[in-house]
C-alpha cells in the first residue's frame, strides 16, 4: 500500500464512529475533505519540502499533511518550524504505510506547550517510536 492509499484508509477509519465526512475528493496534491462542520485540505507527499511550498497563505484553513516517516521530513519540519507554527489548524501525520504506524504533530500546539530547549529532542523522540519509511 502506498502513502496515498494509506491516507485514504486513514481518513475513512478516523470517521467510522463520527460519520462527519460528506465527501472525499482525490486531488493531485492529496484529498479535499468536506465534513459536516468543516472543510479540510489533505496533502500527501513522500517529501515534506514539496508540501511546504504549497501551503496556503491563509492560516485559517484546516490542513492535514501526511508524509513519509523519515528523518529528512522531520528535519524539514524543524527547519520550517517558525513558519509552521503560524498555522493553528495544521496537523502532520508522519506515516509508514508498510507497518501501518504513524505519529502526529501539531506545530502550533507543540510550540505552545513545549519549551524551546527540549522541542527538537522531543520531536526526534516521537520519530524514533515509529518505523522509518
Per-residue pLDDT of 13-23, as tens digits, reads 999 999 999 99
**In-domain check, residue 111:** yes
Domain count for the chain, please give it: 1
**In-domain check, residue 63:** yes
97/34 Cα distance (integer angstroms): 24
**In-domain check, residue 29:** yes
**In-domain check, residue 48:** yes
3-state secondary structure of 128: helix
pLDDT at 78 (0 to 100): 95
pLDDT at 68 (0 to 100): 97
The residue among 99, 95, 37 whose CA lies nearest residue 62 is 37
| Domain limits for position 102 | 3-128
122/125 Cα distance (integer angstroms): 5
pLDDT band at 105 (very low <50, low <70, confident <90, very high): very high
Given a cut of 80, whether residue 58 has pLDDT beyond it is no
**In-domain check, residue 70:** yes
**In-domain check, residue 57:** yes
Given a cut of 90, whether residue 86 has pLDDT beyond it is yes
**Mean pLDDT on 30-37:** 95
Amino acid at each position: 500500500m502506498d502513502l496515498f492509499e494509506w491516507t485514504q484508509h486513514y481518513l475513512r477509519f478516523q470517521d467510522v464512529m463520527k460519520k462527519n465526512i460528506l465527501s472525499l475528493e482525490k486531488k493531485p496534491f492529496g484529498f479535499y475533505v468536506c465534513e459536516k462542520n468543516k472543510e479540510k485540505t489533505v496533502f500527501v507527499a513522500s517529501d515534506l519540502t514539496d508540501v511546504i511550498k504549497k501551503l496556503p497563505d491563509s492560516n485559517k484553513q484546516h490542513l492535514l499533511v501526511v508524509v513519509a516517516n523519515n528523518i529528512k521530513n522531520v528535519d524539514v519540519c524543524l527547519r520550517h518550524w517558525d513558519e509552521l507554527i503560524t498555522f493553528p489548524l495544521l496537523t502532520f501525520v508522519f506515516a509508514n504505510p508498510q507497518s501501518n504506524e504513524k505519529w502526529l504533530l501539531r506545530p502550533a500546539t507543540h510550540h505552545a506547550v513545549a519549551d524551546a530547549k527540549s522541542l527538537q529532542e522531543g520531536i526526534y523522540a516521537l520519530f524514533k517510536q515509529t518505523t522509518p519509511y
